[in-house]
Copies of this chain bind each other. A is one copy, B any other.
Amino acid sequence: MDLSQLPSRLLENAVNEFSKLPGIGKKTALRLVLHLLNQPEDETLAFAHALQEMKLEIKICKLCHNISEEELCSICKNPNRDESLICVVESIKEIIAIENTSQYKGLYHVLGGRISPMDGIGPKNLHIDTLIDRVKNNDIAEVILALSTNMEGDTTSFYIYRKLSEYKTNISTLARGISVGDELEYTDEITLGRSLVNRTPYHGK
């Protein structure tokens, strides 16, 4: 879409800013901007203000690198969480997903990505050193590697596994297998193969 025909530089700016977001093209950006232009003034200003406030005031937890409003995030601060458990995740999206299951009561450690030589991301670009420090300086019973099941996730898991192997902590990873509710027929063969190899005792419950 040719944006040189936009009737206002201000409109053009706003459209350009929107179209920098991932997955938002010029046409969608224009649609969103025109929508905001038709909204009451205070609503659009509240939108802009929420972005500013978020950017200026959100901190990163100095322990687990989760998003926080204070030095320590609400999870690290919570006395009811099990401090001897660390779940290693790529980003805060995984924290949100795991918290939604209500099945985990330990702490987290956000790496900020995964090792990906193709994208120029090595171990030094991730928060791996601080993870090792946490394991070294605290009494950590178990580190759970909850990374993606692709080559980069597996590489990252293996790298962390080797780095942590000199410490006396258990290292585990999430169970891989057929998703609950999935039909065997449509399960991809690698998943099916893995879940055969890692079959679990049947309790008949």
Give A residues with C-beta under 8 Å from B. 1-2, 5-11, 13-14, 16-18, 20-24, 28, 30-37, 41, 43-58, 66-69, 73-75, 91-93, 95-96, 99-100
27 A-B residue pairings within 8 Å (CB atoms)? A1-B100, A5-B96, A5-B100, A7-B66, A7-B96, A8-B58, A8-B68, A8-B69, A10-B53, A10-B69, A11-B54, A11-B58, A11-B67, A13-B53, A20-B47, A22-B35, A34-B93, A36-B51, A36-B54, A36-B55, A37-B55, A41-B55, A44-B55, A45-B52, A47-B51, A48-B51, A48-B55
Query: Contact at A67–B37, with CB atoms within 8 Å?
Result: yes
- Copies of this chain in its oligomeric complex: 2
- Are B33 and A54 in contact (CB-based, < 8 A)? yes
Report the bound CA distance from A47 to B56 in whole Å: 13
Cα A82 to Cα B6 in complex, Å, equals: 19
Query: Is the pair A54, B6 in contact by a Cβ cutoff of 8 Å?
Result: no
The closest CB in chain B to the CB of A95 belongs to B7
Q: Are B7 and A75 in contact (CB-based, < 8 A)?
A: yes
Please give, as numbers and ranges, the residues of chain B lying within 8 Å of A49 by CB-CB distance. Answer: 48
Q: In the bound complex, what is the Cα–Cα distance between A95 and B8 (angstroms)?
A: 12
Look across to chain B and name the residue whose beta carbon is closest to the beta carbon of A47: B17
For A44, give its contact among B6, B51, B73 (CB under 8 Å): B51
